[in-house]
Amino acid sequence: MKPLVPLRLACFFAANLAASLHAASVLEFAVASFTVAENVGQATLTVQRANDVDTPVSVDYATTDGTATNGLKYTATNGTLAFAANETNQSIVVPILNNGLVEGTKNFRVILSNPDGGAVLGTRTNVLVSITDNDSLLKVEFASYEAREDEATVVIGVVRGDDGDFPVSVDYATANVTALAGEDYTETLGRLTFASGEKLKLVSIPILNDALNETNKTFRFTLANVIGTTLSAQKSATITLKDNDPGVEFVTEKYYIHEDEGALRVTVRR
């Protein structure tokens, strides 16, 4: 009969190895992705610890650029998280930078590495942080406006959607469609300059009130040559002028006369 000692030793080491692997602290991010608005100021990410919590452990972390650039959208951060005994959560704080550029959502990653104190990394070793943009393009406030020809003016709004601390300027001009400058409205052009923090500019366009009975007419207001930001696709507006002149008409639709009256008086009014 063969001795049982080697078999017992093998079982002993296997059991201890399994217990050791089971008991090891597992360090990983609480989530695989995280979204933050650029004007919030910071992203706070949680690293959690599972299994063994009795032993002090540590893990390194560092940020790395994706489509977001260090110094423009966020501030690069690195360091070491130290978990004391019975401590199960630690936080990484990454500063988020609020710029005035219109650029859509950008992202970067935070990566865990070098676990120490017998700890191992879990499956979520990195987290993708997406920074949503809070800036919008310079645009005409509305795509269409209406005005009666006796209203004297129509007021057009131009809106700056970014939150930059720098001036922005843009040219504007009117153009005929079916309405004619000098007959239906006054040609208007110029340049708007937005100071830091200024969001809205108003442009007044004179409307000319003629005495003609005519259909509604339109003209356009358009932005161009922007400096300091980007123009939206909504860079122009159509202005419809509604006629207020009924023209000439009969007072009534029907008239009646006896054949022996000799004449019929029909009234026409202006």
Are residues 147 and 235 located together in one domain of the fold? yes
Q: Which pLDDT belongs to residue 18? A: 46
Per-residue pLDDT of the chain (270 residues; tens, 9 = 90+): 455 445 555 544 554 544 444 579 999 999 999 999 999 999 999 999 999 999 999 999 999 999 999 999 999 999 999 999 999 999 999 999 998 788 889 999 999 999 999 999 999 999 999 999 988 889 999 999 999 988 999 999 999 988 767 899 999 999 999 999 999 999 999 999 999 889 999 999 999 987 666 789 999 999 999 998 889 999 999 999 997 655 566 657 777 766 666 676 777 665
Give a yes or no: residue 74 inside a domain.
Answer: yes
Give a yes or no: residue 239 inside a domain.
Answer: yes
CA distance 240 to 142: 13
Domain boundary among 132, 154, 187: 132
Give a yes or no: residue 267 inside a domain.
Answer: no
Q: Which pLDDT belongs to residue 221? A: 98
Residues in contact with 40: Cβ distance below 8 Å, sequence separation at least 6, in sequence order: 96
DSSP E strand stretches across 117-235 = 120-121, 126-132, 139-140, 144-148, 153-159, 168-176, 189-194, 200-206, 217-227
The count of domains in the chain is: 2
Are residues 147 and 210 located together in one domain of the fold? yes
- Two structure tokens written together for 5: 């000692």
Are residues 35 and 87 located together in one domain of the fold? yes
Contact 119, 27 (CB under 8 A): yes
Residues in contact with 188: Cβ distance below 8 Å, sequence separation at least 6, in sequence order: 172, 173, 174, 203, 204, 205, 206, 221
Query: Which range marks the domain in which residue 234 is found?
Result: 139-249
Are residues 143 and 104 located together in one domain of the fold? no
Are residues 193 and 120 located together in one domain of the fold? no
CA distances from 92 to 60, 64, 69, 80, 164 (A): 11, 14, 18, 9, 28
Q: At 232, which CATH number?
A: 2.60.40.2030
Domain boundary among 107, 132, 157: 132
Are residues 35 and 118 located together in one domain of the fold? yes
Domain boundary among 132, 156, 180: 132
β-strand pairing of 106-116 with 42-50: unpaired
pTM over 0.85? The answer is no
CA distance 20 to 102: 52
